[in-house]
Structure 1
Amino acid sequence: MSQLPASTKVIVIGGGIIGSSTAYYLAKRGVPTLLCEKGLIGAEQSGRNQGWVRAQKRDAQEMPLIRESLRIWNDLERQLGQSVGFKQTGILTVFKRDEEAEACESWLANTCPDDIVARIVSGAELRALLPGASRPWACGLYSPNDGRAEPSLAAAAYASAARALGAQIVVSCAVRGIETRAGRICGVVTELGPVSCEAVVLAGGVWSSLFCNNMGLRLPQLKTMSSLVRAYPLEGAPKTSIKGPDFSIRTRHDGGFTIGYGAWNRTEIVPDSFRYLVDYLPMILTGGNNVRLRLGRRTLAELFQKSRWRMDEQTPFEQTRVLDPVPSLYDLRQAQRNISREFPVFANMRVAATWAGLIDVMPDTKPVIGAVDTIPGFFISSGYSGHGFGIGPAAGHLTADLVTSEKPIVDPSPFTFNRLSSVKRQPAFAQ
């Protein structure tokens, strides 16, 4: 569809899993909804992530979101009538020494709720989860009810189901900005023309901070890059998704594997790095192997990128429809080398594809989900810090709850926009 309606009730900006699921849960309630995506549905990080759906090691404040999301994921294919590739394969984090698992034991004791199954494993049980491993691991944290879904399927399935319920989904249509009347949202201006509405949800992923900046809103969000490898199926490889100190692997619905390096996240230095330096300084100073700053292609691209624009001129969203970063060759080689070292069967792997994605990161690694009080009718659902795919179903549900003033699926107070002025920053980005 390329023709816009003159008016609707809610406009969702962004067609990743958050925007698409929000549109679905709004449409399911009969709310007239328009989703505008500048490129294609699920074409950026929502379709480029590792596909983990995990409660394991989840932050206490995000735990309610993943609990609800796991419940939704288990029934999502029936609800949407389409495949999303979800399966409870279990997730295992492995450790070389017993003392490395102390933080996991603390998480089990203090954060993991009784209805989330997770435990420390060792000995024969651990070996059974690691067929073909080249070395003995001391122990691991195993969560058998965690699983995976396919990023290439999930956002598109939500968008298709939303359309079937009456939502209008328009791709290749960038929203240039919002319009207000008496300080309240009354519409948006898109590259195809204006649309009147009562509420707007910004679910723009890594583009959200730039969109807010043009509105005079400060959303201290940065980008970090992850590079991944897709390998064809191999007999004798593990079926459980595994995270090690310098590798990660998950099984895919087609029998293949998605493999990552996992030792750090590459963050290019851009103008926002200086604009939000105070917010991220604790993360930078104590990030250890989790954060690697560098100059790169985005440094120049964003240096010359517009940070403000008028509604009648082309925006950065139209100039770059889909962010398609060049993956790190070093990270790709390390990922293949490390997984082959741990599981020799992968020495014979055939690589089907490589890619990279940009993750929208917040200083405290928690998303913003909620209203912007200074602009009634404007909501943000962004900054998921690498966690958005797994918690996407409940996050979209929660966003729809807040827009419609219905009872929220979980307590939204940890995710308010207002918290950013006094946020307690985490020492490192957690994926």
Structure 2
Amino acid sequence: MFCVIMTHMIEWSVPEEKRKSCVAKGKTEDDCKNYVRLLEFLGEGGIYACGTFAFDPQCVFINISSFSLEKHEDGSMKMETGKGKCPFEPSQHYTAVMAGGILYTAATSNFLGTMYDISRATGIEQERIRTEQSINWLSDPEFVSSAFIQEDEKNNPTGEDDKIYFFFTEVAKEYDLYAKVKVPRVARVCKSDVGGMKTLQRRWTTFLKAQLVCEDRASGQRFNVLTDVFTVQHQPGDPSSTHFYGIFTSQWYFELSAVCVYSLEEITKVMNGPFKELKKTCENWINPEPIPTPRPGQCLNSALMEQGFESSLKLPDKVLTFVRDHPLMENSVVAAPLMIRNGITYTKLAVTLTMASSGLKQHMTTVLHLGTDHGELHKVAVVGPNATLIEEVPLFSAQEPVNNILLYKVMT
């Protein structure tokens, strides 16, 4: 495949022998090409790119000034494994985010696409940790989005650690039903987490997840499949004002879309609440008691460090065992839809906030930029409880889905 920027082009294709080997393993000709799934800017003026590379993910470094692939002294391409950083298959759900120069990913981690990981994929080898291989942690997930929330250096009195959030849809294990019910989730890990000493060794000790509920209370309609999330600060420069806007559809109804928004404050409250537990004797979910100290799953802060827990490696086994067995929170993060559209399937979302005047008063207007599965861009203004479609723009001549929306700010 090709990565194109303006008139410059880099060719990074799969060698013929490797392509034939991929096809011989039962994959299609198209899938055995190289699909670039990750492009992240590096601090030293380069771009880190990862591709599927015929079901053998690989990563390369792009020199921005010369716009070329970096090479070793012997002329060979500077390439490293992309396993854990990039999916094997071009159509697999995947998300990644850079946090302090370190890559965090949510992707499949094997050729068959049956194993899933949320991991710290780069950085010091000993600190590359991932989720436990347990259906209680991840149950056939479809990863959607991720966000790095960095604490305010000037206003962080408790010394809270930075956090990474992942959004996905998975098969629920908390419901005793015959059908596979999908549920949208938000999961959180902490930037300073380096795993446990014995229990949860090279695994997250801070992995917690909660259900996202997007429900129209008037009709009782619940939208249970999350397809995209856009992160925005309502007060620029204030991480605590972060909100997550999500596109939801339904597992049971087609061409039905809704947009719900969740605040970081609401998510944090749920993550600090009670845990959910399955009592083996009667197969009922209950709130476990007692919760060990220090609280399982919490991020490092000044209070923990003062108690001698300056690293996750210092956490007691009883705390790590508890969080290993109880990654799911009891309460859900609940929101009512900002808008619902019948007969339309939205695929991608971007959000802008603008100040508007009404008489002597000023109010915030949220503008949703929504891509459809038929290649249109819809612009929706949200003021209070009212959502108004103000523009529809056809983007493609064919009815192709919008797979990405990138906001571009014109400098004045």
- For the pair shown, which has the larger CA radius of gyration, 1 or 2? 2
Higher relative contact order (CA 8 A, sep 6+): 1
Indicate whether the TM-score tops 0.5: no
Structure ranking higher in helix proportion: 1
TM-score bin (small chain): under 0.3
TM-score normalised to the size of structure 1? 0.23
TM-score normalised to the size of structure 2? 0.24
Structure ranking higher in strand proportion: 2
